[in-house]
A = this chain, B = another copy of it.
């Protein structure tokens, strides 16, 4: 019932990008250094976020990544559903892929559907901006004029 490192690192990377994007693009090596995560591993997570159109990219000199939207326009659910594949607690809930012949009289399916609902609702109730704000207030930046 764990969120994998893939999802957790993706979230930390998105937060890092949100924090450090001034005008330009942020190089992955800087994210990796600050977050203490292997750059090579982050490289593998990036394409997932790219496919979901969560990032903008430039290559070459002074290239890097930046958020495609404002932090307030990402929910944690957006990021985690993309990287975790799905947040469904059982495979019978994953689209129409895993059809179960017993669905109609499965006593436990409504339970998992309900669990799925509370998980997604919780994660969609928090935006990247919310986490940034919370982080700043923790650092005492809430007294900055």
Residues of A within 8 A of B (CB): 1-3, 8, 11-12, 15, 76, 84, 86-91, 105, 107-108, 110-112, 114-115, 118-119, 122-123, 126, 131, 134-135, 138-139
- The answer on a CB contact under 8 Å between B122 and A88 is no
Sample (18) of A-B pairs whose CB atoms are under 8 Å apart: A1-B1, A1-B2, A1-B3, A1-B88, A2-B90, A3-B89, A3-B90, A3-B112, A8-B90, A76-B111, A105-B139, A107-B134, A107-B135, A110-B134, A111-B126, A111-B131, A114-B122, A118-B122
- Give the contacting residue for A107; candidates B90, B112, B131; CB below 8 A: B131
- The answer on a CB contact under 8 Å between B87 and A11 is no
**Smallest CB-CB separation from A36: which chain B residue?**
B102
User: Known contacts A111-B131, A119-B118, A126-B111; is A105 also within 8 Å of B138 by CB?
Assistant: yes
- Give the contacting residue for A8; candidates B76, B108, B110; CB below 8 A: B108
- Give the contacting residue for A115; candidates B12, B84, B114, B119; CB below 8 A: B119
User: Known contacts A84-B1, A90-B8, A107-B135; is A122 also within 8 Å of B126 by CB?
Assistant: no
Shortest A52–chain B CB gap in Å is 17
